[in-house]
């Protein structure tokens, strides 16, 4: 009897029910009537695992199905060691799928498909090796929770979306409030800077006015001393004495202002005059103590006013920011102008 075996198959041969061997692809001659062959496909085969119901570790009912890819590696074992290897692998895959899902929580069964596939394949490898079968791959197709669980998950998803929407809305309102606050802050800063500049200008104006008044009073006081001194000198000069004693205060004033007087022979540096101190009676007669006291009070008041104005201006901001000169600069400039006007008058 002639038996033809396809290229992708092997056939198990029995004679009188006794296993005699495997028929390789090609033509084989076997005893007629008493022989029987059992074909085995050596290609990779697909087995569908029916949908299974399982309970997860957190007691959530789910249904799952899978597909298993197998290949016959040893046709003799597949013939002698197991009855209907396809059905055996399918049943083993079903029980393994339920066991693996029951050992996992619901969220893991929905998110960790690769882990489920690997665990099922590992569980199938050992028994199928004894059958001459190799499990090449296991793929879980669907894992579906119960309807109640699906509704709860949908509600959770909806609540999560609402929460995110509320967060986005709150963040938008927060950014808007921040922008408004920033705008108000900048507006307040601009108003404060304007007020500060106004206060600086007002303070500097008061300082200049005070300095001018002080300089005028000082000049008038010194001129009064000089006039009084000149009158006294004239009275002394009418006497018979040829020796004259000048007070130190009068000599310093003459040295300071005498060079500006028309026809004056006082040196410019004011160092050519020699003087001595007046006695008490002479000072009382000339009224020098009263003049010095008045000048001292004027200088003290001017200094206090200037310090108060400078402290107030510094509390707002330094006067350099407004481009305004300090009180010392104004006084120095006024001295220069006074010298220039005096020189012009002498010419």
pLDDT in the model for residue 183: 87
- Angle subtended at Cα 223 by Cα 216 and Cα 247, rounded to the nearest 5 degrees: 130
Q: Tokens representing 54?
A: 């399982």
Nearest to 249 by CA among 301, 289, 190: 289
pLDDT in the model for residue 40: 93
CA–CA distances in Å: residue 174 to residues 45, 134, 185: 62, 62, 16
CA–CA dist 230, 222 (Å, integer): 12
CA–CA dist 236, 323 (Å, integer): 54
- Residue 70 contacts residue 136 (beta carbons within 8 Å): yes
Contacts of residue 19, Cβ cutoff 8 Å, sequence gap at least 6: 12, 13, 76, 79, 80
Nearest to 210 by CA among 294, 337, 298: 298
pLDDT in the model for residue 320: 47
What does CATH list as the number for 2-147? 3.30.479.30
pLDDT in the model for residue 321: 47
Torsion, CA 303, CA 308, CA 314, CA 318, rounded to 10: -40
CA–CA dist 99, 112 (Å, integer): 15
**Domain layout of the chain by residue ranges:** 2-147, 199-346
pLDDT in the model for residue 230: 65
CA–CA dist 197, 203 (Å, integer): 10
Q: Is 187 exposed, middle or buried (0-12, 13-18, 19+ CB in 10 A)?
A: exposed
pTM of the entire predicted model: 0.47
Q: How would DSSP label each residue in 81-143? A: T-SSHHHHHHHHHHHHHHHHHHTS-HHHHHH-HHHHHHHHHHHHHHHHHHTTEEEEEEEEEEE
- What is the chain's pLDDT, residue by residue, as a tens digit (347 residues)? 888 889 999 999 999 888 999 999 999 888 888 889 999 999 999 999 999 999 998 888 999 999 999 999 999 999 999 989 999 999 999 999 999 999 999 888 888 899 999 999 999 998 999 999 999 999 999 888 888 877 777 788 788 888 888 898 888 888 888 888 888 888 888 888 888 888 888 877 777 777 677 666 656 665 666 666 666 666 666 666 555 555 555 555 555 555 544 444 444 444 444 444 545 655 554 455 555 565 566 566 656 666 666 666 565 544 444 454 555 665 566 667 656 665 655 55
CA–CA dist 286, 241 (Å, integer): 19
Q: Tokens representing 204?
A: 């500097």
Q: How would DSSP label each residue in 222-274? A: HHHHHHHHHHHHHHHHTSS-------HHHHHHHHHHGGGSTT----TTS-S--
DSSP state of 30: -
């Amino acid at each position: 009897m002639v038996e033809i075996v396809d290229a992708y198959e092997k056939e198990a041969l029995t004679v009188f029910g006794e296993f005699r061997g495997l028929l390789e692809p090609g033509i084989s001659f076997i005893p007629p009537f008493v022989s029987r062959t059992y074909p085995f496909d050596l290609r990779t085969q697909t087995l569908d695992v029916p949908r299974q119901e399982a309970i997860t570790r957190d007691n959530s009912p789910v249904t799952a199905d899978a597909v298993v890819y197998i290949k016959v590696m040893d046709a003799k074992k597949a013939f002698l060691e197991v009855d209907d290897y396809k059905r055996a692998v399918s049943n083993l895959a079903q029980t393994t799928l339920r066991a693996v899902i029951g050992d996992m929580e619901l969220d893991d069964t929905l998110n960790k498909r690769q882990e489920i596939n690997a665990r099922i394949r590992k569980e199938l490898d050992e028994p199928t090796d004894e059958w001459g079968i190799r499990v090449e791959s296991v793929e879980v197709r669907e894992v579906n929770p119960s309807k109640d669980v699906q509704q709860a998950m949908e509600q959770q998803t909806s609540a999560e979306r609402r929460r995110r929407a509320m967060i986005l809305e709150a963040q938008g309102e927060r950014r808007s409030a921040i922008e408004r606050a920033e705008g108000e802050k900048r507006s307040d800063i601009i108003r404060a800077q304007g007020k500060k500049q106004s206060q600086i200008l007002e303070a500097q104006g008061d300082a200049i006015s005070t300095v001018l008044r002080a300089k005028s009073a000082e000049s008038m006081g010194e001129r009064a001393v000089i006039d009084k001194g000149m009158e006294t000198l004239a009275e002394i000069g009418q006497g018979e004495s040829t020796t004259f004693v000048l007070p130190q205060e009068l000599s310093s004033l003459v040295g300071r202002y005498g060079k500006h007087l028309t026809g004056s022979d006082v040196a410019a540096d004011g160092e050519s005059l020699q003087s001595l101190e007046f006695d008490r009676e002479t000072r009382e007669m000339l009224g020098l103590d009263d003049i010095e006291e008045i000048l001292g009070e004027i200088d003290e008041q001017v200094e206090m006013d200037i310090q108060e104005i400078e402290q107030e201006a510094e509390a707002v901001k330094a006067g350099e920011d407004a481009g305004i000169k300090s009180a010392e600069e104004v006084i120095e400039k006024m001295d220069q102008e006074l010298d220039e006007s005096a020189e012009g008058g002498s010419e």
